[in-house]
Amino acid sequence: MSHAVEYREVAKADAPKLVPFFEAFYGQWFGEPVTSNSVQRRIDQARGIETFVVAEREGKLLGFASLRLVPSLDLTPYAELSDLFVAGLYRRQGVGRGLLGFIEQRARERGADRLILTTGLKNVEAQWFYRAVGFEDHALAMKKSIGVSKAGNPREIRAPQRSVLWRRVDATGTESFLLSRDDTGWHLEGNVVALLDREPAHIRYRVACDPSWRARSAQISQDRAGVQREVHITVREDGRWWVEGEEDARLRPCTDVDLEISPSTNTIPIRRLNLALGQDSEVIAAWVRFPALTVEPLPQRYTRTGANQYRYASRDFVTNLEVDDLGLVTRYEGGWSREAVADPGSSTLK
């Protein structure tokens, strides 16, 4: 039996299989719940403008890419690689190169003489990949949000709430963190520099919660000893959790994301539960371990012991937390200490 990867243009039957891929890649930016119908509708809307292709092996989708042909005042049009995504389990197996090769072939058939793309300034792994397959740095891409929400109102720009600098007190490590919000909910973004198993590591993450502080997605990137890895987590409206495009049924009872490497995610259950003084509650978090980047359910208990104090317990681990008015940790007993904080409009650190 052949195990070769097939590259082809998308078919209608692919829509249900693409749901976890769209959730992992687009996340909250999709603008609506990711369902088979919404995926098919987006593909239909783009037909004639975008050429959407998939990589498949033995009936299982491994990744997707999208090509856009752009008319130009030049003699020939150019092609744009608008999207490229490979599920984590299938990366570094040639799938991305295969998708790109298929896209290039389609672009040449349509008369394009060059292929361009944009990628995130901080997405170093993607930049290395594209350079390795022949792309060159060409220009600086810029953008300006002029979008309108589904309600017809100008889209709310993400508003910073507070930035924090934490320092590890039990080991070597620091974190620069930003809490912000917009019309979709709350956003936690951090950059952690630490030693993991005695090797220097840089972790970048983004966690999104809805307005009631229920976790919706998480994107984590880790650069350790020259090896870059990522994990993408999405939570559907029905409470099902997907990790790297695959549903993880173990996580269905979870309500929160907890990053082992950061004190920031303690804020999620603290804000969501809004416990009264003396009250406690048990939660189950999707616990992301480092440096393995595995995800597992972790029972936890929070007890509010003071106006800004909580006891945190999980398995045989117990510690005390002190938080500020936004629920951000100021002191994590035996773990982290807040070194500086700045609020919007403030020009100095506190």
pTM over 0.75: no
> Residue 145 domain-assigned?
no
Which of the pair, 21 or 300, is modelled with greater confidence? 300
Burial (0-12, 13-18, 19+ Cβ within 10 Å), 4: exposed
Mean per-residue pLDDT for 16-37?
79
- Band of residue 151 on the pLDDT scale cut at 50, 70, 90: very low
Q: Is residue 205 part of a domain?
A: yes
Let me know whether 252 and 205 are in one domain.
yes
| Residue 147 maps to a domain | no
State the pLDDT at residue 139.
Answer: 79
Mean pLDDT for 24-33 is 72
Question: What pLDDT score was predicted for residue 28?
Answer: 60
Q: Which residues pair with 241 in a beta bridge?
A: 235
pLDDT at 348: 45
- 126 & 167 share domain: no
Distance CA 57, CA 74 (A): 39
**144 within some domain:** no
In a domain, 349, yes or no: no
Q: What is the spatial distance between Cα 309 and Cα 209, in angstroms, rounded to a whole number?
A: 23
The residue segments making up the domain with residue 259 are 159-342
So what's the pLDDT on residue 49?
A: 83
Residue 175 in any domain: the answer is yes
Same domain, yes or no: 171 and 124:
no
Residues 103 and 199 in one domain: no
CB atoms within 10 A of CB 249: 8
Q: How many whole angstroms separate alpha carbon 22 and alpha carbon 63?
A: 10
Q: What percent of the chain stands above pLDDT 70?
A: 92
> What's the pLDDT at 316?
94
Same domain assignment for residues 123 and 170: no
pLDDT for the residue 232? 87
What CATH number corresponds to the domain at position 128? Answer: 3.40.630.30
Pairing of strands 78-86, 317-323: unpaired
Between 314 and 49, residue with greater pLDDT: 314
Q: What is the pLDDT of residue 270?
A: 98
| Token pair recorded at residue 250 | 């173990």
Token pair listed for 257: 């994301």
270 to 52, 184, 252, 283, 349: CA distances (angstroms): 42, 19, 20, 11, 25
Place of tokens 């078919």: 11
pLDDT tens digit string along 183-194? 889 999 999 999
Instruction: Please report which confidence band the pLDDT of residue 145 belongs to, taking 50, 70 and 90 as the band edges.
Output: low
* Residue 163 sits in the same domain as residue 292: yes
Mean pLDDT of 325-333: 97
Query: CA 332, CA 334: separation in Å to the nearest integer?
Result: 6
Same domain, yes or no, for 226 and 322? yes
Higher pLDDT, 299 or 111: 299
pLDDT at residue 347, rounded to an integer: 43
Using the predicted structure, report yes or no on whether residue 154 has a pLDDT greater than 50: no
| CA distances to 109, 139, 230, 325 from 52, in Å | 15, 25, 24, 47
Over residues 263-269, the mean pLDDT reads 98
Q: What is the mean pLDDT of the segment spanning 277-297?
A: 96
- Cα 16 from Cα 9, distance rounded (Å): 15
Instruction: Tell me, yes or no, whether 348 lies in a domain.
Output: no
Is 206 in the same domain as 257?
yes
Based on the fold, state whether residues 65 and 181 are members of the same structural domain: no
Residue 219 lies in a domain: yes
Contact, 230 vs 222, CB < 8 A? yes
pLDDT digits 0-9 by tens, 68-94? 988 777 767 889 998 999 987 888 899
pLDDT for 349 beyond 80: no
- Average of per-residue pLDDT across 249-255: 95
> Mean pLDDT in the chain?
88
Please list the residues that pair with 235 across neighbouring strands. Answer: 241
Displacement of CA 128 from its chain's centroid (Å): 19
Q: Looking at the structure, tell me whether residues 85 and 26 fall in a common domain.
A: yes
- Residue type present at position 318: V
Which residues are registered as beta bridge partners of 295?
A: 288
Of 41-55, 82-96, 140-154, 295-309, the range with the highest mean pLDDT is: 295-309
Backbone angles phi, psi at 235, to 5 degrees: -120, 125
At 141 the pLDDT is 76
Are 179 and 61 found together in one domain? no
Q: What is the pLDDT of residue 148?
A: 53
Please say if the pLDDT value at position 158 is more than 90: no
Whether 109 and 173 map to the same domain: the answer is no
Domain count, the chain: 2
Question: What pLDDT score was predicted for residue 206?
Answer: 92
